[in-house]
Amino acid sequence: MSVLVTGGAGFIGSHITEALLQRGHEVVVLDNLDPYYDVDIKRQNIERCREIETGRFEFVEGSITDERLVEEVFSTYDVEFVYHEAARAGVRTSVEQPLFYERNNVGGLLTLLEAATDHGVERFVNASSSSVYGRPDYLPYDEAHPNYPKSPYGTTKLAAEHYCKVWQSVHGLPTVSLRYFTVYGPRMRPNMAISNFVSRGLNGEPPVIYGDGEQTRDFTYIDDVVAANLRLLETDAADGEVLNIGSTDNITITELADHVISQVDSELEPIYEAEQQADARHTHADVSKARDLIGYAPSTDIREGVGEFIEWYRQNREWYEPLVVSS
């Protein structure tokens, strides 16, 4: 199958791309190498994909907002399936640049939906986010929970979900939106809590916690996210749906910091700073809908996953750590 992965040079997109190539698919990645974080990580991801001998890999540098380029990609590579992972991430910076987020996360999506419709794509999988929930009326969140996004980023992700449903209803394009809950693992974005805690701990510096540390997060290991995405190659059971993709577990930020400290053999004490604007207070996923429709079964809890990430970090410290520190 010919598969387009937008944002395929990024963290989640590159893992999906690798998995597709290992299964023999033809994969074209469209990515603009946005310097939101150090692009050397993205270039490393691209090179890893080039080295996979199964499947066929093509990389196109450019933006999903470029209508001419998007049309050219769909035509040239005869795209049959789309994993849309490209977006400007970051709830905090979206507060400062709302129009930029709207143009990329909503405008870019619409460009892709139009091209996918024109070219008869089999299925369009949209990467959404737990940021659409905002604040809890109850926990864990199920997909019927009301949406109260606290940031322009979360708002753009919610708008994208609605557009996907409209496109399926009006144009017959099968779409699925996956609401990711704080994904982590090897090659993760460097400006995230886990990567920062690990980097600081290994360098004898205390973790920095924003707020009181009692915030909770449902951290989802990258392998579980990839498994959910690949399942959508095999089934139409989720067409037209929105699904939570989380771990079913959660942990306070202070507990996470303490666990990282214990894993890196440190006796450091966390530092607490002012809470950041637009951050959600709690996230916790009910994944029963994804389990029922696509057989989703998360396999890695946060404590096990952090251990695996720390081991990967130690092995890749020479090239990865400077990029974490610089962010």
Rounded-to-integer distance, Cα 58 and Cα 64, Å:
16
87-111: burial string, b at 16+ Cβ within 10 Å, e else? bbbbbebbbeeeeebbebbbebbbb
Quote the distance between the C-alpha of residue 22 and its chain's center. Answer: 20
* Cβ–Cβ under 8 Å, residues 44 and 21: no
Specify the residue for token string 């400290």. 261
Rounded-to-integer distance, Cα 231 and Cα 318, Å:
35
Rounded-to-integer distance, Cα 175 and Cα 163, Å:
10
Report residue 60 as tokens.
Answer: 């196109």
Residues 6+ apart with CB under 8 A from 127: 7, 12, 83, 84, 85, 87, 177, 178, 180
**Hey, how many other C-beta atoms are within 10 angstroms of the C-beta on 118?**
13
Report residue 96 as tokens.
Answer: 């400062």
> Would you name the residues annotated as active-site residues?
153
149: helix, coil or strand?
coil
Rounded-to-integer distance, Cα 221 and Cα 188, Å:
10
Q: C-alpha distances in angstroms, 258 versus 126, 205, 246, 255, 262? A: 34, 13, 22, 5, 6
Report residue 32 as tokens.
Answer: 């603009």
Report residue 152 as tokens.
Answer: 């322009």
According to DSSP, the β-strands at 56-61 and 26-31 are parallel
